[in-house]
Amino acid sequence: MTSTEISDGIIGYNSPFTVLPDPQIAAKIASSYKLASREYKPENSTVKIRDGVVFGKGSILIGGPCSVETEEQLAATVKGVKKCGAHMFRGGAFKPRTSPYSFQGLGIEGLKLMKKVSEEFNIPFVSEIMSEQHLPDFDRYVDMIQIGSRNMQNFDLLIKVAKLGKPILLKRGLSATLEEFLCAAEYILAAGNDQLVLCERGIRTYEQSTRNILDLNSLTLVKELSHIPIIADPSHAAGRSDIILPLSMGALAAGADGLMVEVHFRPEDALCDGRQSLTLGQFDELCKSIALRK
């Protein structure tokens, strides 16, 4: 059968569902996502970045700047978060900014800087891809590829990134329902990549006092409906640094498999998201609170 044929309601030139490993089990699952569901796979999935950094086995903590700015900024921040106990760092080289006049990131130079700093401090990192033209660079430099909120339903990008076979961090879309989120995850699984971690980063509501609302309802439900690990990003949910600690504790209590938090060695000088970035001192406090909880 070619993928343009219609079979059992499955239509399309690029349908990844033609590779479903067990179509008979999948057919019995009522939801629009199959491989992502707990019915398909009852046991929790794990995603290994390297020895000692495994999502789905204890809390994984990711800290780092919104965007890579300079080697000094990156090295100081990464050295600091590692000392506090972070398992990975984050950093954006390609930034999806609302205004085209805002800092857009350092591009491939940023990826190279992260690779260098990652080797220097022996800590893996995650970074966001925005365009398929950068697939070879992400394949070469990055340990885990982030697909950001704005691209959660860029299905072509999801499939192409999935096919690299590298670990993926898929963030929930700004206004995506839980079902849409899990369907986006399904694209990645159906394209043959099960090295997937989800990230709840807050959704838009009428409330204006914070940037978004961290949706702990959905986070809890993901643990029920799916086997895929899910972490929380309280930084983009809050948009302000003063409530990151309680949001983090709440997310972990709700079952999150880890946290991704924005940290900057000098938040007041950050080129992007300084208002929501923790200082290294605040990040240390967060790490100590998490350790006490264990």
Q: Site residues (CB under 6 A) for ligand PEP? A: 66, 92, 96, 128, 148-149, 171, 201, 236
- The torsion angles phi and psi of 260, rounded to 5 degrees, stand at -120, 120
- The torsion angles phi and psi of 255, rounded to 5 degrees, stand at 110, 10
Residue 283's SS3 state is: helix
What six digits make up the tokens of 185? 């995850």
Minimum Å gap between C-beta 125 and Mn ion is 15
Question: Are the C-beta atoms of 202 and 181 separated by less than 8 Å?
Answer: no
**x-or-dash string of contact with Mn ion, 160-199, rule CB under 5 A:** ----------------------------------------
Note whether 200 binds Mn ion by CB under 5 A.
no
Residue placing its CB nearer to ligand PEP in the complex, 35 or 111: 111
Note whether 273 binds Mn ion by CB under 5 A.
yes
Distance of CA 155 to the CA centre of its chain: 16
Stretch that binds Mn ion, among 56-64, 73-81, 138-146, 265-273 (CB under 5 A): 265-273
In terms of Cα–Cα distance, which of 275, 252, 251 is closest to 262?
275
Picked from Mn ion, ligand PEP, none, the partner binding residue 110 (CB below 5 to 8 A depending on kind) is none
Rounded CA separation 66/206 (Å): 25
Choose, by CB under 5 A, the member of 66, 113, 216, 251 that binds Mn ion: 66
Picked from ligand PEP, Mn ion, none, the partner binding residue 128 (CB below 5 to 8 A depending on kind) is ligand PEP
Residue placing its CB nearer to Mn ion in the complex, 67 or 154: 67
Minimum Å gap between C-beta 146 and ligand PEP is 6
Residue placing its CB nearer to ligand PEP in the complex, 194 or 262: 262
Rounded CA separation 52/23 (Å): 35
Picked from Mn ion, ligand PEP, none, the partner binding residue 87 (CB below 5 to 8 A depending on kind) is none
Residue placing its CB nearer to Mn ion in the complex, 97 or 140: 97
Picked from ligand PEP, Mn ion, none, the partner binding residue 149 (CB below 5 to 8 A depending on kind) is ligand PEP
- The torsion angles phi and psi of 170, rounded to 5 degrees, stand at -105, 115
**Burial state string for 37-74 with b = 16 or more CB within 10 A and e = fewer than 16:** bbbbbeeebebebeeebbbbeebbbbbbbbbbbeeebb
Q: Considering Cα of 193, then 199, then 203, then 208, what sign does the dihedral take?
A: negative
Rounded CA separation 148/219 (Å): 17
Stretch that binds Mn ion, among 50-58, 64-72, 183-191, 277-285 (CB under 5 A): 64-72
Residue placing its CB nearer to ligand PEP in the complex, 20 or 117: 117
Spatial CB neighbours of 253, under 8 Å, sequence gap ≥ 6: none
Q: How many chain residues touch Mn ion (CB under 5 A)? A: 2
Minimum Å gap between C-beta 256 and Mn ion is 18
Residue placing its CB nearer to ligand PEP in the complex, 17 or 173: 173
The contact set with Mn ion (CB under 5 A) reads 66, 273
